[in-house]
Amino acid sequence: MTHETVAAANPGPLSGAVALVTGGSRGIGRAITLELARLGASVAINYLRHSDQAHETAETAQRLSGARAVPFKAHLGEPEQVDRLINDVANTFGGVDILINNAASGVQRPARELELRHWDWAMGINARAPWLAAKRAAAHMAERGGGSIINISSVGAARVMANYTSVGVSKAALEALTRYLAVELAPQGIRVNAVSGGLVKTDALEHFEDREQMIDRAVRDTPAGRMVTPEDIARAVAFLCLPESEMIIGQTIVVDGGMTLTWRTD
């Protein structure tokens, strides 16, 4: 299917654009993939372990809008695989217009119980990989007249959460990277922003020992009266990809239903 065919099938606001979503097969990444496809973008879905889910997400995206969707396996903790991923996507689709750095990992332990390998693992996937991907993708975006890079962060970047040190610190680094890249790349027409979610209802919560208490507290303390869903994050990401948001540059948009306005640690 050519890009022209995709555009004709779904003349949405992102028709003709090529988006890469890292960790795009499950949870927040899947919701982002489907939302971008719904708006007409062709989507490259990065995954590592769950091939069946990546292919199912690709099939769903194509049924949803007719947009092209292709899974790409890559371990983002390996720098050479990040480079290969960007090149493979650009070669397959003819370029890259949108990069969503969503893939994340980490070890749930207090700071004093973390080991060096835990630190390196979280920083490598959550901060180094987005930097490397942005470097490579920006070259392709510049050739096409601009683009959008969106990093998926967490309220744990600015607020303290139990046993969240490795992820929280890496997400803080990611938000700082967002600002530096935004200033550097804006003259080339490339906008860089971040979306930070509150407690989002995904399978990732299974890794928290006190997940039930976290969920109860999130619902109780969120002025909106419910938890954030992956679709809430996806809609914010999609907006930042549209021309209507062209003057939003270097910002971290918090999508939490107002939870951090009344944050409680008890």
**Residue 73 annotated among the catalytic residues of the structure:** no
Q: What's the CA gap between 100 and 66, in Å, rounded?
A: 21
pTM for the whole structure: 0.91
Give the C-alpha distances (Å, rounded to integers) separating 250 from 9, 33, 180: 33, 22, 8
Out of 47, 73, 171, 180, the active site residue is 171
- Residue 217 backbone phi and psi in degrees, to 5: -65, -40
**Per the residue annotation, which of 73, 135, 164, 201 is the catalytic one?**
164
Cα-to-chain-centroid distance, residue 50: 17
Burial of 160 (0-12, 13-18, 19+ CB in 10 A): exposed
3-state secondary structure at position 29 = helix
- For residue 33, give both structure tokens: 């993939």
Which helix (H) or strand (E) segment is 22 a member of? none
CA dist 91 and 89 (Å) reads 5
Helix (H) or strand (E) holding 106: none
Instruction: For the chain, 266 residues long, give each residue's pLDDT as a single digit of tens.
Output: 334 334 445 579 999 999 999 999 999 999 999 999 999 999 999 999 989 999 999 999 999 888 899 999 999 999 999 999 999 999 999 999 999 999 999 998 999 999 999 999 999 999 999 999 999 999 999 999 999 999 999 999 998 888 899 999 999 999 999 999 999 999 999 999 999 998 876 666 555 566 666 667 777 888 988 889 999 999 999 999 999 999 999 999 999 999 888 876 55
Q: Catalytic residue at 180? A: no
Residue 161 identity (one-letter amino acid): M
Q: For 77-100, give the DSSP string.
A: TSHHHHHHHHHHHHHHHS--SEEE
Which of 25, 28, 53 minimizes the C-alpha distance to 43?
Answer: 25
Contact partners, residue 72, CB within 8 Å, separation at least 6? 20, 44, 45, 46, 47, 85, 88, 89
Find out whether 100 and 21 touch, Cβ atoms under 8 Å: yes
What's the rounded Cα separation, in Å, for the pair 197 and 256?
A: 6
